[in-house]
A and B are shown apart, each in its own frame.
Chain A
Amino acid sequence: DAGVTQSPTHLIKTRGQHVTLRCSPISGHKSVSWYQQVLGQGPQFIFQYYEKEERGRGNFPDRFSARQFPNYSSELNVNALLLGDSALYLCASSLSGGPAETQYFGPGTRLLVL
């Protein structure tokens, strides 16, 4: 079975631009979470979605938004990019997003903002 997939794998943008990152969860998983991992740090929680509804968001500005589609895939959008948005963006999926469930991660999208 396919794991979590993310696209694109790498992306280079300039300040002020916007970006859309995509994620497809493991088949049968209905919850998707997004994390940002800056170099040398652990992943930081951005959003969690379940059944197309936002369940929660981390401490990120409104420039960050996301949505989940009927097929449970998800998009993360970042507007007005800043240099500090350069990071590895990780998507994770789980069955229903509960605390006891293991979140399985995709390979990530490496975003570089120049």
Chain B
Amino acid sequence: AQKVTQAQTEISVVEKEDVTLDCVYETRDTTYYLFWYKQPPSGELVFLIRRNSFDEQNEISGRYSWNFQKSTSSFNFTITASQVVDSAVYFCALSEAQGNSGGSNYKLTFGKGTLLTVNP
């Protein structure tokens, strides 16, 4: 069974600090996909990034960067020069085939989330 662990329940930083959110996953599939979502207080999950299991190239997008390491089953997310608007709950999620009843559905398995608070 697939599992996602976000060990950090809450993180508090001061604006302009860098912060890294950890994500460790478990899966028996050789092909899988990893996602990060942001959930502001409004509740809507906002998609940030998707990575597939056969592409370990790290990615940078503006102030965001992601470090994917299959050897340690980790997919960590770093925000550089954090801002107050980055305050939210961040979820890491895993997608793999469930293979239900001869068909397949590709549910997302989420971690419990990390609450990031950026203080001015």
Which residues of A approach B to under 8 Å, CB–CB?
33, 35, 40-45, 48, 50, 55-58, 88, 90, 92, 97-108, 110
Contact = CB atoms under 8 A, between A and B. Distances in A.
B61 interface: no
B98 A106 contact: no
A104 B44 CA distance: 10
A105 B45 contact: yes
B43 A107 contact: yes
Contacts, number: 75
B113 A42 contact: yes
B64 interface: no
Contacts of B96: 99
A110 B109 contact: no
B99 to A, nearest CB: 9
Given A41-B112, A99-B33, A100-B52, A90 B45 contact: yes
A101 B43 CA distance: 22
Which of under 10, 10 to 19, 20 to 34, or 35 or more describes the interface residues of B? 20 to 34
A45 B44 contact: no
B29 to A, nearest CB: 9
Contacts of A44: 110
Contact of A100 (B33, B43, B105, B108): B33
A74 to B, nearest CB: 14
B95 to A, nearest CB: 5
A55 B100 contact: yes
A79 B42 CA distance: 27
B103 interface: yes
Nearest to B49: A102
B91 to A, nearest CB: 6
Contact of B106 (A48, A58, A104): A48
Q: Which 6 A-B pairs have the closest CB atoms?
A: A56-B105, A42-B110, A55-B105, A56-B100, A99-B106, A105-B45
Nearest to B31: A99
Contacts of B111: 42
